[in-house]
């Protein structure tokens, strides 16, 4: 199992409330409505920030407004999902409406239980 992790930042000029509402109520359901993409995804989780600092731990506030986790069986499925034409036709253009893509971070991780 691998996870695509996306540390997300809202577009300049968009309020936190607007970002969270759009991501939760518009983009999330849209992602779930694209079977050509979702057939590869085992789990889709949105984590919305409730604070930009961690008292006693971090001194610099995070630049991110949330984290998305997309769970896949393997790296090949990650590649297939993001190569799907419907991802490029539907999901990517919608994400560009509210994500500050240059300010976001994307990476794939493998979870290790300790």
pLDDT digits (tens, 9 = 90+) for 41-78: 999 999 999 887 777 776 677 889 999 999 999 999 99
Determine the average pLDDT of the residues in 2-24: 98
Determine the average pLDDT of the residues in 84-89: 98
pLDDT at 111: 86
In angstroms, the CA 65 to CA 80 distance is 27
Q: What is each CA distance from 94 to 91, 105, 111, in whole angstroms?
A: 5, 18, 29
Q: What is the pTM of this model?
A: 0.91
Residue range 2-53+62-110 in CATH 3.30.70.100: yes
Q: What are the residue ranges spanned by the domains of the chain? A: 2-53+62-110
Determine the average pLDDT of the residues in 19-46: 98
């Amino acid at each position: 199992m691998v996870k695509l992790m996306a540390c997300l930042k809202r577009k300049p000029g968009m309020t936190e409330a607007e970002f969270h509402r759009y991501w939760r109520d518009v983009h999330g359901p849209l992602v779930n409505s694209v079977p050509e993409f979702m057939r590869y995804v085992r789990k889709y989780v949105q984590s919305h920030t409730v604070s930009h600092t961690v008292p006693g731990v971090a001194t610099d506030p995070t630049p991110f407004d949330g984290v998305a986790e997309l769970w896949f069986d393997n790296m090949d499925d990650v590649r297939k999902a993001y190569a799907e034409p419907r991802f490029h036709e539907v999901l990517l253009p919608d994400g560009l409406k509210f994500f500050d893509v240059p300010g976001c971070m994307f990476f794939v991780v493998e979870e290790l239980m300790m």
